[in-house]
Amino acid sequence: MSKITAGVNGFGRFGLHLLKYWLDRTDECSLEIKSINDKKLNKEEILEIILKDYSVIFNSYKFRLSGSILQILSPNGNNYEINITNKEDADIPWIGKYDLFLECSGLNTLRKNCEKFIIGKTKLVAISATSWDSDSTLVYGYNHKNYDLKEHKIISYGSCTVNAYVPLANFINEKFGILNSDVNVIHNIQRYRMDDNYTLNRKFCTLEKSAVDLLPFVNENNFKVNYTVIPYEYTSTIDFRFQLRENVTQKMLIDKLTKSIHNGYLNNLYDIEDYDNGPEIFNCTPYSSVFIKDGIKKVGDNFFLQGYFDNENSVNRYYDLISFISNLLEKAR
């Protein structure tokens, strides 16, 4: 049986990470990426980004351009061909030709801008950003099994912070009950945007609204996000505070969290390290957040958790969601 086909619109940081994550997992995936479009980048520029990017390393793969086709030789000897286009959205030649339209440009987050992609063979537009009016926001590891083949045409995967907070908070609430919580994010900025982002910049975080929409125990009165973008290009930090309903010791929380991460609800979503060895080792981590066990502290009835996350590589949860949906579509054929 042929694989579920997809085209990617947008080859920025997210699209670059998605290509690498997919290539590393093609043997186990029912998804095949057939085309990439970027209205700002031509095929030569896309190839240059792949070969020279400092954070996503492809050195086990070989790439070459043959006309508009990006040819890829993988370490296991498999060959892949991806058609590269450089068109405005309305002129993308492969619209309607694939099962999935992977909207990764960061520009089309409104439903009205994505509806035009649901034509022909295309069954779903998956937005790699927060969308307030999509059919659903599906967070892998929390509510991804709510995907409905008939009802969902345009979905959002949330965001890097949404994926880092929501499954964790849901787990902690189920175990101990959450009275209130907050998140402190120190977020990086891409190298090419440094000139325009040379100082601290406090911003609204989509998590602050998304968590309220997604989690029944979170509301505007018991949740806050402090979100600061800094002129730094590597791994970001994300720290959590939870005030719990139950009387829980520090050891109890760490033990429950560690057990779930290693073999439970949070497995493959998060990781935990004993000590803080700095952010650099978490570049391209496959986890939504990596906690530092030594940094988990209890103060009164509040718990504080230190974490690192490669926000750009939150593509891992987007990939997991798309892979899950692809398996369902394949079975439904």
Per-residue pLDDT of 95-142, as tens digits, reads 999 999 999 999 999 999 999 999 999 999 999 999 999 999 999 999
pLDDT at 234: 79
Q: Domain segments of the chain: what residues? A: 4-129, 160-311
The model carries a pTM of: 0.94
Taking Cα atoms as reference points, which of 261, 246, 118, 84 lies closest to residue 174? Answer: 246
Residue 57 pLDDT greater than 70, yes or no: yes
**For 197-248, what is each residue's pLDDT tens digit?**
788 889 899 999 999 999 999 999 999 999 999 888 778 999 999 999 999 9
Least trusted range by pLDDT, from 88-92, 134-138, 201-205, 296-300: 201-205
Taking Cα atoms as reference points, which of 72, 52, 74 lies closest to residue 63? Answer: 72
d(CA 62, CA 75): 8
**For 254-276, what is each residue's pLDDT tens digit?**
999 999 999 999 999 999 999 99
Q: What angle do CA 208, 241, 264 make, to 5 degrees?
A: 95
Contact 155, 135 (CB under 8 A): yes
| Domain at 160-311, CATH class | alpha beta
Task: Examine domains 4-129 and 160-311 and report if their fold is the same.
Answer: no
Taking domain 4-129, whether its CATH number is 3.30.70.20 is answered by no
Region 145-169 average pLDDT: 97
Contacts of 101 (CB under 8 A, 6+ apart): 6, 7, 9, 95, 114, 117, 118, 122, 124, 125, 126
d(CA 145, CA 138): 8
